[in-house]
Amino acid sequence: MTDTAAASAAATDPTETGFDTVLRFLLPDRDCRGRVVRLGPVLDEILSAHDYPPPVKHCLAEALVLTALMGSMLKDEQDQMTIQARSEEGLIRLLVCDYRGGALRGYAEVAEDVPAQVGANPRLETLFGKGHLAVTFDLASTGQRYQGIVPLEGENLSEAIEIYFAQSEQLPTQVRTAMAFGQDGGIAGGMLIQHLADGEQGRERLHVRFDHPEWEHVSILADTISHGELVDQALSLEAMVWRLFHEERELRTDGLVSLCKGCRCSIEHYATILSRFGEEDRAEMVNDEGDIVVDCAFCSRQFAIPALPGEVS
């Protein structure tokens, strides 16, 4: 689909995009790019690793949607994008999600007691108290790392991400997310729209205007997206984008990205990491059975790495 005629056909095509997919799109005349995503089985697989209370489950689901939307902007499959929210006083002490080549993973460290009166979707301040949000891009091709850190402010994580883009990237950005949980599992959807200075990616943003008429037009249209549309599994991602922008002269899709649960834990992986430690440090990690046990918080599994000769006392 490269124009509005093709987009219209996609809207009536019975073939659905399905769950766990990101659809990338462009509005060339408005100098805007966007992403839409809907998570299903991958979301359930990630959340099932821990018995999270409802408000934590809701927040982590939102973070995974944001990670998919932002991570899908990366060009190299080995590039990685990480979102980390940290607090010393909230219900959630640490939340971390990352994306690499379509692989998602996420984890939340929760305070011991979550009050029963806290609803399923509380304010960000209730979840974290005073904390900060860090967004990190690790680029494999150049070995460079870019990180922006902003306070955890706003009603939810989506608003905190909008603040990050405004302060750290000076990039007009609008984010909408929605989550729904039932007996059959969860659904989480989201949309991210950005205005690109001079209509070109990668150029120095010397003249970005947050009140640019083209951006205001797209922002108003994007704001009409409803919670129900984002989580409606009967509505394809193509059809959802077409509903919003069907009056535009040109609407292009820029490819689909399939998502999967991406925990990289394995005995081989952790053995490689442990090999970077000194012999004395490794010896202190060995248990009575002669193993070094590593916990993977992302998937709630333990891996026993046999100690090397000389490390067992």
pLDDT digits (tens, 9 = 90+) for 217-258: 999 999 999 999 999 989 999 999 999 999 999 999 888 899
pLDDT of residue 200: 47
**Same-domain status, 243 and 282:** no
Is residue 8 predicted with pLDDT exceeding 60? Answer: no
- Domain tally, the chain: 2
CB 110 within 8 A of CB 158: no
Same domain, 207 and 272: no
Does position 267 have pLDDT exceeding 80, yes or no?
A: no
Report how far residue 65's alpha carbon sits from residue 71's, in angstroms, rounded to the nearest whole number.
Answer: 10
Residues 63 and 181 in one domain: yes
Residue 171 domain-assigned (yes or no): yes
The answer to whether the beta carbons of residues 28 and 278 sit under 8 Å apart is: no
Q: How many alpha carbons fall within 13 Å on the CB side of residue 102? A: 11
Same domain (yes/no): 249, 278? no
Same domain, 293 and 221: no
- Same-domain check for residues 209 and 252: yes
The residue length of the chain stands at: 313
In this structure, what CATH number is given to the domain that contains residue 183? Answer: 3.55.30.10
The pLDDT, as a whole number, for residue 208 is: 56
**Separation CA 114–CA 94 (nearest Å):** 14
Residue 87: strand pairing partners: 131
| Residue 313 within a domain | no
Q: Are residues 244 and 155 in the same domain?
A: yes
Regarding whether 225 and 137 lie in a shared domain, the answer is yes
Task: Please tell me the pTM assigned to this model.
Answer: 0.83
Given a contact cutoff of 8 angstroms between Cβ atoms, the answer to whether 25 and 8 are in contact is no
* Range of the structural domain that residue 252 is part of: 4-261
User: Bigger pLDDT: 207 or 76?
Assistant: 76
d(CA 37, CA 240): 10
Residues 118/55, Cβ–Cβ less than 8 Å: yes
Q: Indicate whether 292 and 242 sit together in one domain.
A: no
Same domain, 136 and 94: yes
Residue 211 forms part of a structural domain: yes
